[in-house]
Amino acid sequence: MLFQKLILAGVLFLLLTAQTPIQKKEKKEDQRFKANNSFTAPVVKVLQGDLISVELDGKTISIRLAEIDAPEIRQPFSRQSRNFVEELVLTKRVTVVVKTFDLFKRVVGEV
């Protein structure tokens, strides 16, 4: 009898606590990073021929250049590719049109 009461009390406890939703703090999604939205920011670094970093609201954000396939580091012409992009955009303000995100959660966009 005591065992049955303990089981019943445990089941009631689980049912009552399961009804209480856990409050999660939802991150505010930055509307600038939605597809087809755009933002303007200065380029602070060129990492590869198809990857730049911009500074936005005090944060550095990596931008993968959409529709560009540049050589990876240590592949032939990777340094030339990076240097070319540096000459074009380094320290300049660019407008980025967001297209999507890649596997590393970087913005893929047109500059």
Enzyme catalytic residues: 64, 72, 106
Contact 106, 64 (CB under 8 A): yes
Residue 72 main-chain phi, psi, to 5 deg: -75, 165
Contact 76, 70 (CB under 8 A): no
CA distance 26 to 64: 26
Would residue 79 be called left, alpha or beta, if left means φ above 0 and alpha means ψ between -120 and 50 degrees?
alpha
Give residues with Cβ within 8 angstroms of 86, minimum separation 6.
Answer: 46
Q: Which amino acid is at 30?
A: D
